Amino acid sequence: MPIDYQLPPAAAEQTTAASPASFDQQYEKARALANGGQPALALAAYNALLARSPANADVLLGRGIVYTRMERWAEARADLEAAARAAPDYADVWRALGDLHLWQGQAAQAVAAYSRLSALRPDDAGAWQARARANRAAGRIDEARLDLDRARALGANGGEIDAALAALQPRPALAAPVPVPARAGNPEAALADKYAWAASLAGGWTDAGSGPRWNDQSASVRHYLKGGSIGFETLRAHRFGQTGHAWALDAYAALWTGAYANFRYQRAPAARLFPANAGRVELYQSLGGGWEASLAGDVLGFDSRVNIYGVALAKYVGNWYVQLRHQAIVSAGSHSDGQRLLARYYHAGDADSYLEAAASSGRSDDPLSLSGGRARSGGGAVTWVRYWSDNWGTRLGAGFSRGANGARERGASVGLYRRW
């Protein structure tokens, strides 16, 4: 009997749908996107996670950090504060809140956040170092020192602690090795680390009392190096119905311990309002105890050469910087001298934002002057420099002067700063 052989039925294909990624897997992917420099994708991933778990502190913290890196401050603060409410004992949230406040220039709020962090992690040297930075920014120098001492006792890097303690005299850390007074007296001499470049635009207007107003503008870009900085400037001025232009190279350089120097060369090809060539050298020396002295010499290449010699003594105490400068101005057949007293207060407790007032007086011994060879003049100015974020700042200024012939001048100036 024949046997009917039949092929077995084809095995049915078995397709198993891939199981959806778990919450933890999605969270790790969001973190990887954030740390991999893809903030937009990271935000989308965190948004999807929050749709599943709206009050998840880990996700709120992650998204808040991404917002912070994108400088979307209001959204970052909302997320981090929500995370703190959801998990008040989550130390990493308070660290992120402290960082956010410090970057925004809100020193008091940063101190409060870092205080909560150090209370939650009393044995974490980094927590005390973070609070020291905030106390320093708030101008609370003694508290910052105590925090640094605590960090050292907990095993913090000794070199870092020594550098931070040195920087409490009184400004934040400088681009080493330029000494601390350089930052207080000469904001362009050294820049807080993490920035390598700075640029500025500025303009001023002067009412001379008769005739059209004078105006001047300048633009500069400066590069900060390990031992100082070098800048390129362009200048324009319009006075007496004429317009003049010049360019300049301006550099600061560290020398021996506690000393640095400023070198400047300026060139005006047309030599209308600016000297055809001008040069400057000034040497600064720290004397200890917050004192600093300087000697300066300028040469201005007008038709009749002008030499300016200066000596200055400065003192910094807490958030104050005060300087008294004397100058002697010598040209063919003429001699004059003058004094200027300058006081600067770093109201934000950092090395960036300050209020400044200056007063000056002078005397001319020009035998050809109509006032009999002895004329006096004087003036004053106020300036406010404010950094509104880590990268952007502004300057507003106003001043007046009284000339030897009784003429009075009033002026105003504005400036914009950018650093990166």
Q: Are 280 and 297 in contact (CB under 8 A)?
A: yes
What pLDDT is stored for residue 181 in this prediction?
Answer: 46
- Is the pLDDT assigned to residue 112 strictly greater than 80? yes
The sign of the CA dihedral 246, 377, 410, 407 is negative
Residue 369 has phi, psi (to 5 degrees) of: -70, 150
Per-residue pLDDT, averaged over 108-115, amounts to 92
HEC states along 333-396?
CEEEEEEEEEEEECCCCCCCCEEEEEEEEEEECCCCCCCCCCEEEEEEEEEEEEECCCCEEEEE
Per-residue pLDDT, averaged over 150-172, amounts to 74
Per-residue pLDDT, averaged over 358-371, amounts to 59
Better pLDDT: 47 or 11: 47
DSSP 99-123: HHHHHTT-HHHHHHHHHHHHHH-TT
Task: State the pLDDT confidence band at 384, using cuts at 50, 70 and 90.
Answer: very high
Please write the tens of the pLDDT for every residue from 175-192.
Answer: 333 344 444 556 666 655
What single-letter amino acid sits at 132? A
Please write the tens of the pLDDT for every residue from 55-107.
Answer: 899 999 999 999 988 888 899 999 999 999 999 999 999 999 999 998 887 88
Closest CA to 216 of 288, 273, 263: 273
Alpha-carbon distance of 178 to 188, in angstroms, equals: 11
The sign of the CA dihedral 306, 282, 361, 409 is positive
395 phi-psi bin (left φ>0, alpha ψ -120 to 50, beta other): beta
Q: Are 409 and 208 in contact (CB under 8 A)?
A: yes
What pLDDT is stored for residue 22 in this prediction?
Answer: 85
Alpha-carbon distance of 287 to 243, in angstroms, equals: 43
Alpha-carbon distance of 44 to 31, in angstroms, equals: 11
Show the domains of the chain with their CATH numbers: 23-166 (1.25.40.10), 180-419 (2.40.160.10)
Per-residue pLDDT, averaged over 337-350, amounts to 83
Task: State the pLDDT confidence band at 170, using cuts at 50, 70 and 90.
Answer: very low
**CA-CA-CA-CA torsion for 390, 388, 356, 222, nearest 10 degrees?**
40
Which two tokens mark 232?
């390129």
What pLDDT is stored for residue 213 in this prediction?
Answer: 80
- Is the pLDDT assigned to residue 416 strictly greater than 90? yes
Alpha-carbon distance of 36 to 20, in angstroms, equals: 23
Cβ neighbors of 36 (< 8 A, separation 6 or more) are none
Burial of 209-222, coded b for 16+ CB within 10 Å and e otherwise, reads: eeeeebbbebebeb
Q: Which residue in this structure is represented by tokens 């080493």?
A: 176
- Is the pLDDT assigned to residue 368 strictly greater than 50? no
Per-residue pLDDT, averaged over 394-406, amounts to 79
What pLDDT is stored for residue 317 in this prediction?
Answer: 78
What pLDDT is stored for residue 165 in this prediction?
Answer: 77
Closest CA to 220 of 205, 210, 230, 208: 230
Q: Are 216 and 411 in contact (CB under 8 A)?
A: no
pLDDT > 90: percent of the chain: 34
What pLDDT is stored for residue 98 in this prediction?
Answer: 93
What pLDDT is stored for residue 4 in this prediction?
Answer: 47
pLDDT averaged over every residue in the chain: 81
Better pLDDT: 162 or 89: 89
What pLDDT is stored for residue 373 in this prediction?
Answer: 45
> Picking from 75-79, 185-189, 318-322, 330-334, which range would have the lowest pLDDT averaged per residue?
185-189
Per-residue pLDDT, averaged over 128-138, amounts to 88
Task: State the pLDDT confidence band at 316, using cuts at 50, 70 and 90.
Answer: confident
Task: State the pLDDT confidence band at 171, using cuts at 50, 70 and 90.
Answer: very low
The secondary structure of residue 174, as a DSSP letter, is P
Closest CA to 63 of 85, 93, 86, 88: 93
Alpha-carbon distance of 379 to 400, in angstroms, equals: 5
Q: Are 134 and 110 in contact (CB under 8 A)?
A: yes
Please write the tens of the pLDDT for every residue from 211-261.
Answer: 678 889 999 999 988 778 899 999 998 877 788 899 999 999 888 877 889
Residue 400 CB burial class (10 angstroms; 0-12, 13-18, ≥19): middle
Which two tokens mark 173?
């850390």
Task: State the pLDDT confidence band at 321, using cuts at 50, 70 and 90.
Answer: confident
Which two tokens mark 96?
């992120």
Q: Which residue in this structure is represented by tokens 């005390």?
A: 128
Better pLDDT: 356 or 18: 356
Among 9-13, 125-129, 166-170, 240-244, the range with the most confident prediction by mean pLDDT is 125-129
